[in-house]
A and B are shown apart, each in its own frame.
Chain A
Amino acid sequence: MSEMPLTIALSKGRIYKDTLPLLAHAGIEPVDDPVTSRKLILDTNHEHIKLVVIRATDVPTYVQWGAADVGVTGKDVLMEHGSEGLYEPLDLKIARCRMMVAGKPDATYDGDHVRIASKYVHTTERFFAQRGQQVEIIKLYGAMELAPLAGLADVIVDLVESGNTLKANGLAPLEHIADISSRLIVNKASWKMKHATIKNLLEQLSEAVGENNG
């Protein structure tokens, strides 16, 4: 790998944990542990490669502005955030789940004036607009499952992994919106200026994804 400096943005938690083995396949390993270290910029075994560990929803922003050259972020975040200034060339097939409409098993949500709670405001609006339905969206930041129970919303739009949280609250998945997994995203300017470095990384990650899902 050539010596162009490269900054990789990752989010804490599951994406970080699942991305490390992929990066290891590309020969990149962090020297610091983000759990024990308070550092926000982590050194790696390569002098010129740094990791920044930030909130998932901030990853596209860092990459768009070129504050990080590449990043790993969920397709849900990209759908909500938009992709201006970004390339999203690789599906890493990690942190997989589904974005779904969910609610009480007998909930109906046809017609106008349906209230939907979600943190994915744009994605929800687009999804319902595409089938010609005007909906009222209530932006929430967490504990979506509570909204239908407390009468705040008719249904919710949220990520569903196992469905256990829904079940435990007497809710059920009602409609599939999109399959979600993590994507490698790349700043457009970095792609042009650090092409060899990034293409090399892309190839190795792609190989690792292939082995994981072989």
Chain B
Amino acid sequence: MSQNNTWLLPEGIEELLPPEAAQVEALRRRLIDLYQTWGYELVMTPFIEYLDSLLTGTGSDLDVHTFKLTDQVSGRMMGVRADITPQVARIDAHKLRRDTPTRLCYMGSVLRTRSKHFGGTRNPLQVGAELFGHDGIASDVEILLLMLETIRAAGVRQLHVDLGHVGIYRALVKQTGLDHEQEMALFEALQRKAIPEIKALIAGFDLSDSDASMLNALAQLNGDETVLDIARELLAAASTEVHEALDYLQQVAVEVQRRNPDLSIHFDLAELRAYHYQTGVVFAAFTPGSGTEIARGGRYNDVGKAFGRARPATGFSAYLKVLVRVAEEQQPPRREAILAPWSENAGLLSLVEQLRNEGKCVIWELPGQQGDAQQMQCNSVIRYSDTGWVVEKL
């Protein structure tokens, strides 16, 4: 290791430089404004809190991802948030305690012990919205639409949505009587669509032909909307829960498609994102040029139970830096800046103040500094002319 590498950042830890930082910040402001118009109230959660609170409910998958340290004051373990969702659930369940539907949004840095996606960052900027206190299609559709608006606000145009419903797999597991170990083994193989392994696993489970064929069908049930009809046929012997879930999924899709006629919707009944805490419809968004999903969400009822009050909930989250990087329509890094000669002249001072009040960027040219207006990335200068101090375009 070279002796002079104090500039080096840890693996997966990144910082934002101009102009990208400005693009991310501009998007952050647009999104906060967007959520405000939909009635989502902003919450700012702490960067660090007791580990127990971070790892309950939706946080149960987050143990290995969370940086931990001991609180010298209380002696308890604290964790740096790896996901803001559990914190927002805590706020809804314990702090706000409203009886009405509660809409909250959040935005902030999270820290992960390992990058969630190979090669990804360990300090993403998470953004998201959650709707608590309503169980049904209307709230799921609202959240899905807001996720689409979020992505569009970032300038992403070509959108694909993937829809699934974890209730289908759950109900089939219950109906076929798989034990927990079998359930998790099959779940793991389903996530890889490892069809040869799925077949071998199910063959070893000692199930009736009808049960085995239903579980085997899951991995094949993906594609356009015709998948739902095929599913109804292949899963004809399934419990009413399964059929209700299929109907629910279809209704969500119809509602979303009605408002987004050009949106490409893909169904995947074996896609079980965050299976441990999701309870209903799950979804993710994809765009060409990104090899992974760019936003995800779904229903996770009973969240808040750990904080004393179970409430139905649905929500989505995305990462700001990812959205900015995949956007096709990048706002050109435009800098309208005026360079002012350093002086204590009252006329100049009042002009600078006036320009700044108008929202313009005015930079003092410091006495003896290096670089002219162009090198300072200014496109105007202030000069003294016959008519007094004036702004001159370069």
Which A residues form the contact surface with B (CB < 8 A)?
61, 64-67, 83-91, 186-193, 195-196, 199
Contacts and interface: CB of A to CB of B under 8 A. Distances in A.
A112 B98 CA distance: 59
A85 B117 contact: yes
Interface string B65-85: 000000000000000000000
7 closest A-B pairs by beta carbon, nearest first, are A66-B291, A87-B193, A91-B196, A89-B193, A189-B286, A192-B266, A83-B192
Interface in B238-294: 264, 266, 268, 284, 286, 288-293
Interface of B: 117-119, 160, 162, 192-196, 219, 222-224, 264, 266, 268, 284, 286, 288-293
Report whether over half of chain B's contact residues are helix, strand or loop; otherwise say mixed: loop
B305 to A, nearest CB: 30
B192 A195 contact: no
A85 B192 contact: no
Given A67-B291, A83-B192, A88-B192, 9 more contacts: A66-B292, A85-B118, A89-B195, A189-B286, A191-B193, A192-B268, A192-B286, A195-B223, A199-B223
Contact of A87 (B192, B196, B292): B192
Contacts of B222: 191, 195
Given A65-B118, A84-B118, A187-B291, A192 B193 contact: no
A189 B213 CA distance: 27
Contacts of B196: 90-91
Nearest to A190: B291
B194 A89 contact: yes
Nearest to A60: B118
Contact of B291 (A65, A89, A195): A65
Nearest to B227: A195
30 contacts: A61-B118, A64-B291, A65-B118, A66-B289, A66-B290, A66-B291, A66-B292, A83-B192, A85-B117, A86-B192, A87-B192, A87-B193, A87-B194, A88-B193, A89-B219, A187-B291, A188-B291, A188-B293, A189-B290, A189-B291, A189-B292, A190-B291, A191-B193, A191-B222, A192-B266, A192-B284, A193-B266, A193-B286, A193-B288, A195-B224
Interface-centre pick from B193, B286, B292 (highest chain A CB count, 10 A): B193
B227 to A, nearest CB: 10
Contacts of B293: 188-189
Contacts of A192: 160, 162, 266, 268, 284, 286
A188 B119 CA distance: 16
B292 A188 contact: yes
Contacts, number: 64
Report whether over half of chain A's contact residues are helix, strand or loop; otherwise say mixed: mixed
A191 B268 CA distance: 10
Contacts of B162: 192
Contacts of A190: 291
Contacts of B194: 83, 87-89
A170 to B, nearest CB: 36
A84 B117 CA distance: 8
Given A88-B194, A89-B193, A192-B286, A65 B160 contact: no
Contacts of A186: 193
A83 B284 CA distance: 19
A200 B264 CA distance: 18
Contacts of B288: 193
A65 B120 CA distance: 10
Contacts of A65: 118-119, 291
A85 B160 CA distance: 17
Contacts of B264: 193
Contacts of A66: 289-292
Nearest to A66: B291
Nearest to A69: B291
Contacts of A64: 118, 291
Contacts of B117: 84-85
Interface-centre pick from A86, A189, A190, A192 (highest chain B CB count, 10 A): A192
A195 B119 contact: no
A12 to B, nearest CB: 23
A165 B194 CA distance: 32
A212 B264 CA distance: 36
Nearest to B162: A192
B223 A90 contact: no
Contacts of A199: 223
Nearest to B270: A87
Nearest to A62: B291
Contacts of A85: 117-118, 291-292
Nearest to A93: B196
B244 to A, nearest CB: 25
Contacts of A83: 192, 194
A42 B284 CA distance: 33
A80 to B, nearest CB: 14
Contacts of A195: 222-224, 266
